[in-house]
Amino acid sequence: MRFCDIGYSPGDVPGGEAVQLTQAAKSELHPGEALVFDWHRVAICCVAAGEVSLRRTTTRETARSQALVRLTDAAPVYAHRRAYSHLAGIPLTIDCRRRLGLRHFRSDLPSDFGLRAIFGRLPAGHAQGGSR
């Protein structure tokens, strides 16, 4: 599912351009690569219960996937459709650090963001459409 499939573009969503990459993240993200916020189910009984993780992939995979929605036009950053409703419009910063020569992308989301989002317990500044 893409923004165009549901009739929106990142600029149409309040705060849709709130995803920012640090200079380190911009320089470490190679051409042909994208970042994806994945959704991982953590409960069998509740479809909505899940956690969010950030991973690197190819733009080819994002183009083929029906489950990914682009978060911003400014950078190749996508979210799984189940994570999108929790991430769209909130300010996100993505950074990259090298550990033992490997690139590690991370965001400023709390480590238990998915469960907090489901139960409406996001910290100040992470509420949908909120500001820091």
Tens-of-pLDDT digits for all 132 residues of the chain? 334 344 444 444 444 457 899 999 999 999 999 999 987 766 665 555 667 788 999 999 999 999 999 988 889 999 988 888 778 777 889 999 999 999 999 888 766 555 555 545 555 555 444 333
Q: What is the DSSP string of 103-132?
A: EEEEESS-TTHHHHHHTT-PPTT-STT---
Domain limits of the chain?
3-118
Helix ranges (DSSP H) in 1-132 = 3-6, 23-28, 59-64, 81-87, 113-118
- Say if residues 76 and 29 touch (Cβ distance below 8 Å): yes
Per-residue pLDDT at 125:
55
In CATH, 3-118 is 1.10.3470: no
Nearest CA among 124, 121, 107, 118 for reference residue 53: 107
pTM, rounded to two decimals: 0.72
Per-residue pLDDT at 3:
41
Nearest CA among 95, 125, 128, 114 for reference residue 20: 95
φ, ψ (nearest 5 deg) of residue 64: -80, -25
**β 19-21/92-99 pair status:** parallel
Number of Cβ within a 10 Å radius of residue 10: 20
